A and B are shown apart, each in its own frame.
Chain A
Amino acid sequence: MTPPPRQQALTYLRALYDPEAANKCPQRWTWALGRGNISASTVHRQGRRMESVTLAVNGTERSLEVEPRTLLVHALRDELRLTGTNIGCDSSSCGACTVLVNGQSAKSCTMFAVQADGADITTIEGVADADGTMHPMQQAFHEHHALQCGYCTPGMVMAAISLVEEYPELDDQGVRHGLEGNLCRCTGYQNIVNAVLAVAGSGSDGSNQDRE
């Protein structure tokens, strides 16, 4: 079992500043840490130093210029106008901004856009089929009433997709601990857990079998 996401985030952040910690970092982070150095394509605009970043977002290569301190989530939302990824906090606590970076879930507020240079990013806008058919996880959330206001939902769905891919055999506690880094204020989580278990256990079968 990997450490819970909150701890993962902390490990990652420490590694940004401490080469020794970086050596202990999971393999999955090395791509990001390796790209922590600012690339050569620096320009200045209106007195602000800007960096060129190229991301493969939802399968499409996108180039943009950002300040070095621009968070990935702000680059996605404000520069690329992919506003499905939401922001719910400023302490990497809530998980609303979770996306997939090179296939792994990451809170997009925990990294700078420049660190994602060259990475494959998948956001909530990129998980449904081209014909609009929802991803099995989206469908399961729908069928299990696993969302109310829907604000945490994109991040929750992305974290759940990653969790199920990483741990195909999940039980109730596994889902609960696996999604510990994603907060929801509306649902009380039970229907979210049931939705994720439905996908983990039986592919996309999301029938409601959890009721009294």
Chain B
Amino acid sequence: MTMTDDPATHMGSHRLRREDPALLTGEAQFIDDMSLHGEIWVGIVRSTEAHATILGVDGSAALEIDGVTEVLSGADLAPLWGEGALPCAWPVTDDMRNPAHLPVATSIAKYVGDAVAVVLADSRYAAADGAAAVSVDYDPLPAVVDIEAAVAEGAPLVHEDLGTNESYTWPLIPDPDAVDEAFANAAVVVGERYVQQRLIPAPMEPRGVIAAPGVANGELTLYSATQIPHILKVMTAVTLGIPEHKIRVVAPSVGGGFGCKLNVYAEEILCCALAMDRGVPVRWTESRSEAATATIQGRGQVQHIELAADANGKVQAVRVKLLADMGAYLQLVTPGVPLLGGFLYHGCYDIAHYSFECTSVFTNKTPTDAYRGAGRPEATYAIERAMDSLAVAVGVTPEEIRSRNFIAADAFPYESCAGLIFDSGDYQAVLDKAVEMADLQSVRAEQARRRADGSNRQIGVGFSSYVEMCGLAPSRVLASLNYGAGGWEAATVRVLPTAKVQVITGSTPHGQGHETSWSMIVADKLGIDPDDIEVLHSDTAISPTGLDTYGSRSLSVGGTAVFMATDKVLDKARLIAAHQLEANEDDLEYVDGAFQVKGTPTAAVPFAAIAFAAFTAHDLPDGMEPNLEAHVTYDPPNFTFPNGTHIAVVEVDTDTGNVDIVDYVAVDDCGNQVNPMIVEGQVHGGVLQGAAQALYEDAVYNEDGQIVTVNLGDYLVPSAAEAPIYRVASHVTPSPTNPMGVKGIGEAGTIAATPAVINAVVDALRPTGVTDVTMPASPQTVWRAINEAQGGAS
């Protein structure tokens, strides 16, 4: 599915990525590949206790190690940041409790992995040896691990001074009476409880920081494996009191983020503060085991969802109560994550009445924050699981219950019961396409055969129809949510004298292929070769304005800014061409990279001539500034609403509990596509991440708050051997919100896949009496569910 059928255009084509050669040959420079003269290494001593008073830090053994120069406790470091604490940019309610979060704890460690002391050393190995040799004297305090226990009467407190473990309660209940009435009058009520386990984001590149001071002028350059150099610059200035214009932040090649590099971390502030204090570059590289607790985790919710439906299964109201795990502190957008799902618990269904309430609680664990999908996978999981339960209650198929409730294709723009305006979609057409691709009839026939045979290899079919809000975000809407920044994005298109073009984007890629896609957009509009366009990003000295990459926003916000800046360049070029042709600008058309009087190709001014004319400025229209360059800051008027239906077919070994995904069909509507190859890649990877939550991944804590899944041997990021084969297709309804009609695809797969896979597992197990399976549906979990359903011991 392409934007245009014209083979001459780049948009809509499978153009190979220009990012690849540097990454394929080892030339690309990631943070740990860098080395600065005179740098010192930081090793971090992390709490081994979930909750404990720090009685003392003894660095004497560490200081005997060659290369270790200093051991600093939290108290030693406190003067470096003074009053400054790590920022939370999303105080979702006025009364939200937000405990001060110091980069290094001074008196009480609040979670395993909390930084409690710092070692400075002359090498990577000495820093690690030194950190291991520091002895910390702890006086353990009772730890709060489970979120339901955290809100129980008499629970120990994570932050004694707050007097409660609750951070905030956020309701979204437009008409409470109508919801009550709908439930009172419902023919069918479905009520479910689901647990969203915590996930470790695990981009393949761990985090890393190098802070380099410019001693003479009080400047600071911060290199960080981050998704958000622009936001990080503002936050570093605010936190440490360094004048913002003295700070430059650079994100080198970044090896994946998935939300966990959308943050302002202790190590970033620590390295900056030390670099400014000592006048030398200070660096830290995260180890994978360190990342298990030092980097934010995702999900972590207990969800209660109820549906009120009539006898035909048409849903009248949805009621959701959420308990969300914040962890020990609020990181950059921790409190806002559950709310990003809070508008979407009615899914892609036309439901009249809505009630959502989220209570967020502190626990003695690593903070949670945005992880691919951020709130929306959780919402989609709850509604899609509940819709399957409703289908069973009403006695119809999963596809039928969805069809009976879908927002109709002619209802757009559609005002949802949660107060959003959905842009466009044809949810039924998307589902029909998925059903056809999955060859559902044959699969169900095979399922019936195995059920009849009592086979120990049962087949299950799982649906997931989703809609998400992307293109974060209209700044005014963010204001209504108390978010501490806007949602715009900036772009500059600069035409050089020789007609080569620089595109400067405020979006910060870390694997998404912005350079390729942005060059395709500009090339098509200017009628030039994409290889004549350079896309610059990720360095605040080059791209000073931006709000970076998260929430599937890059194309629909950042790409739109590029699109509009290119239009602005063309507007000026048109004036120059009209001047040269002595024609009225309205009589000109731009064809094949040249302006001509409409229908008169003989008198044409090529783009290159205009570029040079703008540079020499010898003969420009009166009053026109020289040079050809345009800057646009685009604030989207609305979110975009990607949607789709995914179907998973699984085979469950009822003897062992093992689950194999034997077929996976994804039909997504992300609006128009600039590069379908990149879209498919996003779907593939997203689906596996979602399926991994369903089947493999779980950040396991024991009752003392010790994390058990510390490395990639224990935390099961799937390999190629576990991955299914994805069959991917599109259905396009262009978004009317932006000029390219695009919606976003970065999170769709992750949002859709988790409920599709679990619904399939539950469907497969239906003959055994199982109605729910907790995540991850490991062989042990599935085997126990079967055994319990059949009255056996677990």
Q: Which residues of A contact B (CB under 8 A)?
A: 4, 46-48, 67, 69-70, 74, 77-78, 81-91, 93-94, 96, 123-125, 128, 134, 138, 141-143, 145, 147-154, 157, 172, 175-177, 179-193, 208, 211-212
> Interface residue tally of chain B, by bracket?
35 or more
Report A-chain residues with C-beta under 8 Å of the C-beta of B20: 141-142, 147, 150
The one of A70, A96, A141, A175 that contacts B204, using a Cβ cutoff of 8 Å: A96
Given known contacts A148-B685, A189-B688, A191-B684, is B203 in contact with A138 (CB within 8 Å)?
no
Q: Is the CB of A89 within 8 A of B712?
A: yes
Report A-chain residues with C-beta under 8 Å of the C-beta of B749: 188
Report B-chain residues with C-beta under 8 Å of the C-beta of A85: 26
Interface segment, one of B28-36, B332-340, B615-623, B733-741: B28-36
A47 CB to closest chain B CB (Å) equals: 5
Interface residues of B in 67-121 (CB under 8 A from A): 67
Query: How many Å lie between the Cα of A138 and that of B27 in the bound state?
Result: 13
Is B25 close to A, CB under 8 A?
A: yes
| Number of cross-chain contacts by CB at 8 Å | 192
Given known contacts A88-B204, A185-B685, A185-B717, is B124 in contact with A78 (CB within 8 Å)?
yes
Report A-chain residues with C-beta under 8 Å of the C-beta of B202: 185
Q: Is the CB of A188 within 8 A of B684?
A: yes
Given known contacts A94-B204, A179-B719, A193-B720, is B23 in contact with A153 (CB within 8 Å)?
yes
Report A-chain residues with C-beta under 8 Å of the C-beta of B23: 147, 149-150, 153
Interface residues of B in 36-62 (CB under 8 A from A): none
Q: Mark B707-734, 1 if CB is under 8 A from A, else 0.
A: 0000111000101110101111100000
Q: Is the CB of A90 within 8 A of B289?
A: yes
Q: Can you name the residue of chain A whose Cβ is closest to the Cβ of B34?
A: A83
A83 CB to closest chain B CB (Å) equals: 4
Dominant SS at the A interface?
loop
B683 CB to closest chain A CB (Å) equals: 8
Query: How many Å lie between the Cα of A29 and that of B24 in the bound state?
Result: 28
Is B19 close to A, CB under 8 A?
A: yes
Of the listed residues A138, A143, A182, A186, the one surrounded by the most CB atoms of chain B closer than 10 A to its CB is A186
Report A-chain residues with C-beta under 8 Å of the C-beta of B713: 91, 93
Q: Is the CB of B14 within 8 A of A208?
A: yes
Q: Which residues of B contact A (CB under 8 A)?
A: 14, 16-17, 19-30, 32-33, 35, 66-67, 124-125, 202-206, 253-256, 258, 287-289, 510-513, 677-678, 680-681, 684-689, 711-713, 717, 719-721, 723, 725-729, 749
Given A86-B204, A88-B288, 8 extra CB contacts under 8 A = A88-B255, A93-B712, A141-B24, A150-B23, A183-B712, A185-B685, A186-B256, A188-B726
Query: How many Å lie between the Cα of A138 and that of B26 in the bound state?
Result: 11
Q: Can you name the residue of chain B whose Cβ is closest to the Cβ of A89?
A: B288
15 A-B pairs within 8 Å (CB atoms) are namely A48-B66, A78-B124, A93-B711, A96-B204, A128-B25, A149-B510, A150-B20, A151-B256, A153-B23, A182-B719, A183-B717, A188-B723, A188-B726, A189-B719, A190-B684
A128 CB to closest chain B CB (Å) equals: 6
Query: How many Å lie between the Cα of A208 and that of B686 in the bound state?
Result: 21
B573 CB to closest chain A CB (Å) equals: 34
Report A-chain residues with C-beta under 8 Å of the C-beta of B686: 188
The one of A176, A183, A187 that contacts B684, using a Cβ cutoff of 8 Å: A187
Report A-chain residues with C-beta under 8 Å of the C-beta of B205: 86, 88, 149, 151
Q: Is the CB of A90 within 8 A of B729?
A: no
B668 CB to closest chain A CB (Å) equals: 12
Q: Can you name the residue of chain B whose Cβ is closest to the Cβ of A67?
A: B125
Query: How many Å lie between the Cα of A151 and that of B33 in the bound state?
Result: 12
Report B-chain residues with C-beta under 8 Å of the C-beta of A138: 24-25
Q: Is the CB of A212 within 8 A of B729?
A: yes
The one of B32, B203, B258, B688 that contacts A87, using a Cβ cutoff of 8 Å: B32
Query: How many Å lie between the Cα of A94 and that of B512 in the bound state?
Result: 21
A78 CB to closest chain B CB (Å) equals: 7
Given known contacts A47-B66, A176-B720, A211-B680, is B24 in contact with A86 (CB within 8 Å)?
no
Report B-chain residues with C-beta under 8 Å of the C-beta of A123: 26
Report B-chain residues with C-beta under 8 Å of the C-beta of A208: 14, 677
Report A-chain residues with C-beta under 8 Å of the C-beta of B729: 212
Given known contacts A138-B24, A141-B24, is B66 in contact with A46 (CB within 8 Å)?
yes
Given known contacts A91-B711, A138-B25, is B203 in contact with A151 (CB within 8 Å)?
yes
A139 CB to closest chain B CB (Å) equals: 8
Q: Can you name the residue of chain A whose Cβ is closest to the Cβ of B289?
A: A90
Given known contacts A83-B29, A149-B254, A149-B256, is B24 in contact with A188 (CB within 8 Å)?
no
Query: How many Å lie between the Cα of A88 and that of B204 in the bound state?
Result: 5
Q: Is the CB of A150 within 8 A of B681?
A: no
The one of B27, B124, B258 that contacts A185, using a Cβ cutoff of 8 Å: B258
Q: Is the CB of B681 within 8 A of A187?
A: yes
The one of B26, B32, B511 that contacts A82, using a Cβ cutoff of 8 Å: B26
Q: Is the CB of A151 within 8 A of B726?
A: no
Report B-chain residues with C-beta under 8 Å of the C-beta of A179: 719-720
B97 CB to closest chain A CB (Å) equals: 34
Given known contacts A86-B30, A176-B720, is B712 in contact with A94 (CB within 8 Å)?
yes
A186 CB to closest chain B CB (Å) equals: 5
Query: How many Å lie between the Cα of A186 and that of B692 in the bound state?
Result: 13
Q: Is the CB of B16 within 8 A of A145?
A: yes
The one of A47, A142, A152, A185 that contacts B21, using a Cβ cutoff of 8 Å: A142
Query: How many Å lie between the Cα of A183 and that of B205 in the bound state?
Result: 11
Q: Is the CB of A134 within 8 A of B719?
A: no
Q: Is the CB of A125 within 8 A of B25?
A: yes
